[in-house]
């Protein structure tokens, strides 16, 4: 099945998140064996990417609170070689970061050739949270769509493939997950009163996400809306699309720098 076709936000298309079912599985049945097979291929391809060093992969994960960003990273990327895979979480900007343009701290974290970089939240917070909480005027954040598209085009010009995933959960599913953080002692540490406050802005975030996904889904760096109410399906979709992206790179091991037939090890 072409999962990309089902999940992609086509550049220039109209988008309403209410038309995307977060419970959707596109007829695919839960199969740990299928996921394990995909993850095995992901590990092999990541090793090849690291050896090849002609390309890089940037994975952007965006979601509302409890949307599953941490879980996706844990389950999809836990088996890859940590030497070639890094995760950056973008928190509230520091005073130093605020003294630069909004992409300054992001550019520093983009992947070197041969590496995978995962953004747990990203530069898109500057057209999402900043917009919802009116931290800057509309005339400022609205221009950022163009800045982001130019930035991502520049990265793709440098052989960086960009995969952008919006993990789409329902408001009811978010409620269940937040309640679990309250009632489960092993999850208490993940709860923050700010999660409740942010939930009050649900509709504003939906509108902000719709605009960001529409404005910044391009041929070079499209957005994918991943139905994420079912965690197993979320993991499967992300893993499959990552493997597909690595496959398209036509990776290969570099030629040896010496004549191996003449190497003698005493």
Q: How do residues 46-58 score in pLDDT, each as one tens digit?
A: 999 999 999 999 9
* Whole-number pLDDT of residue 54: 98
* Whole-number pLDDT of residue 36: 95
Distance from CA of residue 54 to its chain's centroid? 21
Average pLDDT over residues 60-88: 95
Strand pairing category for 160-168 and 56-62: parallel
Band of the pLDDT at 114, cuts 50, 70, 90? very high
Whether the pLDDT of residue 62 is over 90: the answer is yes
Tokens representing 43?
């590990």
Whether the pLDDT of residue 12 is over 90: the answer is no
Cut 0.75: pTM above it: yes
* Whole-number pLDDT of residue 261: 87
CATH number of 3-251: 3.40.50.300
Nearest to 171 by CA among 141, 206, 142: 206
Count other Cβ atoms within 10 Å, centred on residue 260. 8
Average pLDDT over residues 180-202: 92
Summarised one tens digit per residue, pLDDT across range 140-162 is 999 999 999 999 999 999 999 99
Whether the pLDDT of residue 202 is over 80: the answer is yes
Cα–Cα distances in Å, from 141 out to 128, 211, 260?
9, 12, 56
* Whole-number pLDDT of residue 145: 98
Whether the pLDDT of residue 1 is over 80: the answer is no
Q: Each residue of 154-175: b (16+ CB within 10 Å) or e? A: ebeeeebbbbbbbbbbeeebbe
Strand pairing category for 160-168 and 116-120: unpaired
Nearest to 112 by CA among 165, 60, 155: 155
Domain ranges of the chain: 3-251
Band of the pLDDT at 195, cuts 50, 70, 90? confident
Distance (Å, rounded) from C-alpha 150 to C-alpha 132? 23
Mean predicted lDDT score pLDDT of the chain = 96
Three-state secondary structure readout of the chain: CCHHHHHECCCCCCCCHHHCCCCCCCCCCCCHHHHHHHHHHHHHHHHHHHHHCCCEEEEEEECCCCCCHHHHHHHHHCCCCHHHEEEEECCCCCHHHHCCCCCHHHHCCCCCCCCEEEEECCHHHHHCHHHHCCCCCHHHHCCHHHHHHHHHHHHHHCCEEEEEEEEECCHHHHHHHHHHHHHCCCCHHHCCHHHHHHHCCHHHHHHHHHHHHHHCCCCCCCEEEEECCCHHHHHHHHHHHHHHHHHHCCCCCCCCCCCHHHCCCC
Whether the pLDDT of residue 257 is over 90: the answer is no
Average pLDDT over residues 204-208: 98
Spatial neighbors of 266 by CB under 8 A, at least 6 apart, are: none
Average pLDDT over residues 190-201: 91
Tokens representing 77?
């990327």
Residue indicated by tokens 């605020």: 98
């Amino acid at each position: 099945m072409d999962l990309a076709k089902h999940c992609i936000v086509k550049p220039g298309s109209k988008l309403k998140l209410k038309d995307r079912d977060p419970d959707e599985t596109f007829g695919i049945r839960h199969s740990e064996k299928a996921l394990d097979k995909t993850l095995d291929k992901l590990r092999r391809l990541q090793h090849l990417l690291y050896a090849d060093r002609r390309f890089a992969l940037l994975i952007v994960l965006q979601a509302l609170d409890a949307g599953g960003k941490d879980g996706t990273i844990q389950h999809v990327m836990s088996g890859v070689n940590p030497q070639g895979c890094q995760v950056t979480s973008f928190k509230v900007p520091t005073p130093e970061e605020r003294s630069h343009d909004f992409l300054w701290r992001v550019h520093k974290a983009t992947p070197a050739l041969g590496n995978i970089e995962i953004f747990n939240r990203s530069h898109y917070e500057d057209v999402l949270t900043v917009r919802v909480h009116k931290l800057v005027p509309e005339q400022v954040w609205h221009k950022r769509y163009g800045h982001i598209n130019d930035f991502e085009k520049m990265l793709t010009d440098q052989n960086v493939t960009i995969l952008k995933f919006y993990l789409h959960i329902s408001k009811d599913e978010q409620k269940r997950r937040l309640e679990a953080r309250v009632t489960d002692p092993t999850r208490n540490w993940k709860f923050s009163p700010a999660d409740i406050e942010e939930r009050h802005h649900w509709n504003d975030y939906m509108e902000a996400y719709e605009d960001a996904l529409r404005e910044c889904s391009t041929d070079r760096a499209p957005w994918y809306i991943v139905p994420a109410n079912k965690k197993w399906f979320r993991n499967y979709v992300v893993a499959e699309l990552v493997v597909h992206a690595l496959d398209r790179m036509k990776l290969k091991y570099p030629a040896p720098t010496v004549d191996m037939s003449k190497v003698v090890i005493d």
